[in-house]
Structure 1
Amino acid sequence: MKSPDAAPPLAVVQHRGVTLMPAIAERSGGFQFSLGAFDAVGDPVTGVAHRRHGGVTVPPAPPAAPPALRWSGPHLYAGVVFGQFGHFVAESLSRLWAMRAAPEAALVWHRHPAWTAPGLSRWQQDVLALAGLGGRTHRFIDAPVVVDDILVPEQGHVMGHVLHPAQVRALGVHPFRAPQAGRRLWVSRSALAKANGMIEREDELEALLRDRRWEVVHPERRDVAAQLALYEDAEILAGFEGSAFHLLLMGRDIRARVLLLDRRLAPAQHRTYDIIAQALGFPQERLSVALDPVRGRGNTGTWRLQHPAAAAAALDSAAGAP
């Protein structure tokens, strides 16, 4: 097997006179949105397409007339801004490996159609600052626009498929120190909005874990830097599969052992967590617990934990003595 450092280099392609079209909500290549760009002769710029789990977005129809808007100066295509935390870290920053190499270029973003905020949220700005993009110029494609000069880098992370070592190095900005011996953290989903995929009776599991000397944390109540500082002190980091664990992409020299409870995600989504653990070099184990379906499916589905006591015992057994 080739070592990660033997991976082929990622590509950056320079284009001139590119027309960028806003992302629109529609079924496209396995996604719920389409986006695209066209070169000076009207052919699609394939590097702008977004990839995930083997799917790829397809471009919308080209503009019927030349856009009235034009941007001059150096630009770099940054990707798609997602409003969901895990997807922002894992996917919006998937071209980070190339962004810092062009410090004078304005970063050009597609907005995911579900993200309707007028600008970047506070936590998105915090993530960008930690990633070394604080103070950069960000431009959003809200109408068809011609860009005179734009660099289009390849995605360094395609969820469920590949995580390139160049992307690992670029995103791993937070060095982890040695963890506190015996510190076991449960990363809770119990305070999230119901639309984010709930586990009913997780609160019962958490009460049992506290009795067993686990610390229960709600990461969304802390800023991003505080979340990373919290995780680096853990010897055991556990929770139901979810976005909180994508933040480990911003870590380096991670010492924690990660225990993930299976949330009945699709196989390609499971692979994303496995790929991250392998690329970053930390041990990870997935545990299966009995869940009953309540409503929905996938990331936003709600499940009911059948036996909180059995789940607590399984976590204790996998974690070992504190």
Structure 2
Amino acid sequence: MAQTVVGFFDTAAEAQQAAQQLAAAGFSLDSVDVAQSSQGGNRGNYYNSAASTGADRDPSDYQNTSGTLTEGAADAAGRGGDKVSGFFSSLFGGDDDDDAQRYTHVARNTGSIVTVHVSSAENAHRAAEILDAAGAVDVDERASQSGYQANNLTANTGTTTNAEGQVSAQVIEENLQVGKRVEQTGGARLRSRIVERPVEASVRLREEHVTVQRNPVNRPATEADFAAFKEGNVEITESAERAVVGKEARVVEEVTLGKEVTEREETIHDTVRKTEVDVEQIPTSGTTNTGTTQTGTTNTTNTDSNY
């Protein structure tokens, strides 16, 4: 049974590279359609860059060149802006389908679309993996970021749909985690330097001086006088004390740097977020969707007829 895999890319270069990787993996280029937004930045209109030869063609001139059972998104989008939603409505089984609306919304907010037409679920899975590795955007994430709303609720609810059609909502709760980091808050540095200051001290010094005294005498000479009556020298020396300066270094003080550790308790005030999921019953709309499997950034759908 034929299936179609769809991938969205922000740039045409990424989409072309994804197509080349598909070709390298063995997929026929006839089954790969690359559509990119038309010039002027209008992402609501696309032209088939795989079918174009360089000149813009009228949208009504585009034909299905892939030869597959499901027509490419590029061809469908090329025939008018509403055909984008029509393509995904046919892919998902109706205009009211939330997946079809979400994929249409993302298509209008991306630069390029790559569709791969395969004949088996195995090849669809391989094509989806290649598109994911090539940088295909996450549909749910892009829909949430671009403001998509479904069933009057914003798409940013953390919901996922598995292959069995089961919808899950993740309850996310933040926990406050308080750690520690060491910051330098100050300190002290020892720096020694030599300074000079004038000092003075008093000391008493002794000096000797030779004095000469002559006294007149008139007496008879004695034997002692005759004994000293000869030539000779008599000397008396003088002496004086001089101040001698010396220096002695003495340790008079010690300065020591140390640490004193203190502890204090601090209370951290902050807020944490938590996802709250409310379950509401949705009235029956009378629309049934079958045969659709959503796989993250790409979509694979079983189809038996041309678009």
The reply to whether TM is greater than 0.5 is: no
- TM-score norm. by structure 1 comes to 0.23
- TM-score norm. by structure 2 comes to 0.23
In terms of fraction of residues, the more helix-rich structure is 1
Using CA pairs under 8 Å that are at least 6 residues apart, name the structure with larger relative contact order, 1 or 2.
Answer: 2
Which has the greater radius of gyration?
2
